[in-house]
């Protein structure tokens, strides 16, 4: 399992250097968990209990709209933290589902353990703030793109930045994330087949 912790350390090192004491704390408090494809790791209607780091695999965050359509609001684009951040931080009931698109290996820390280690860690507060800032910026960029870019431009930008997702995630989830129909996205890709994905 050490390779999963090394993946986490490499991710955090983009923001801050972890002293050995904090690496040891991470190894104690983040628990490795495997989830098979299709698992809902956190369910709408519950208070999120964990901060999840995706060491391997692909996940999405989605909620249901008034017509019961699944609206994908986040897709994993590589090793990263993946959580219903607002509800995790505020201990509130979430309307979001965290779904394993593929088999996934996560490193998870509970909210109580996160609070406990924050009191002794030299760097946890700093890298947690960095993670939240990245998440907020990504949300801001997506909202801006949805408002100002055409479907073609949104898809082109997405492909350039997320080639790994395009290769590994079903088209219907990408279409939902980009706010377009799967049929339209299939035309943009030049696909010969498209199923009936409900417009978002």
Supply angle C-alpha 108, 113, 119, rounded to 5: 130
Q: How many domains does the chain have?
A: 1
Residue 33 domain flag: yes
- The pLDDT value given to residue 191: 56
The closest alpha carbon to 106, from 61, 73, 58, belongs to 58
The CATH number linked to 44 is 2.60.120.10
Q: How far is 140 from 62, CA to CA, in rounded Å?
A: 17
**Per-residue pLDDT tens digits for 14-66:** 999 999 999 999 999 999 999 999 999 999 999 999 999 999 999 999 999 99
List, for the chain, all residue ranges whose pLDDT scores fall below the cut of 50. 192-200
The closest alpha carbon to 175, from 161, 160, 194, belongs to 194
Sheet containing 70-75, strands listed edge to edge, beginning at the edge strand earlier in sequence: 40-42, 97-100, 59-64, 70-75
Residue 21 domain flag: yes
Q: How far is 162 from 90, CA to CA, in rounded Å?
A: 30
Determine the structural domain holding residue 109 and report its residue range: 2-122
pTM of the complete model: 0.87
């Amino acid at each position: 399992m050490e390779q999963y912790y090394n993946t986490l350390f490499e991710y955090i090192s983009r923001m801050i250097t972890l002293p050995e004491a904090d690496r040891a704390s991470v190894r104690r408090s983040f628990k490795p968990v495997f989830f098979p494809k299709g698992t809902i790791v956190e369910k709408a209607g519950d208070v999120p209990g964990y901060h999840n780091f995706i060491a391997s695999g692909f996940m999405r965050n989605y909620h249901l709209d008034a017509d019961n359509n699944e609206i994908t609001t986040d897709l994993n684009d590589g090793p990263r933290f993946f959580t219903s951040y607002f509800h995790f931080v505020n201990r509130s009931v979430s309307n979001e589902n965290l779904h394993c698109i593929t088999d996934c290996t996560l490193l998870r820390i509970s909210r109580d353990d996160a609070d406990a280690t924050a009191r002794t860690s030299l760097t946890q507060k700093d890298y947690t703030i960095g993670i939240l800032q990245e998440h907020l910026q990504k949300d801001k960029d997506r909202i801006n793109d949805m408002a100002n870019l055409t479907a073609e431009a949104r898809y082109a930008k997405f492909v350039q930045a997320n080639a790994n997702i395009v290769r590994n995630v079903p088209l219907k989830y990408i279409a939902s994330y980009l706010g377009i129909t799967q049929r339209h996205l299939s035309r943009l890709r030049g696909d010969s087949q498209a199923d009936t994905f409900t417009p978002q």
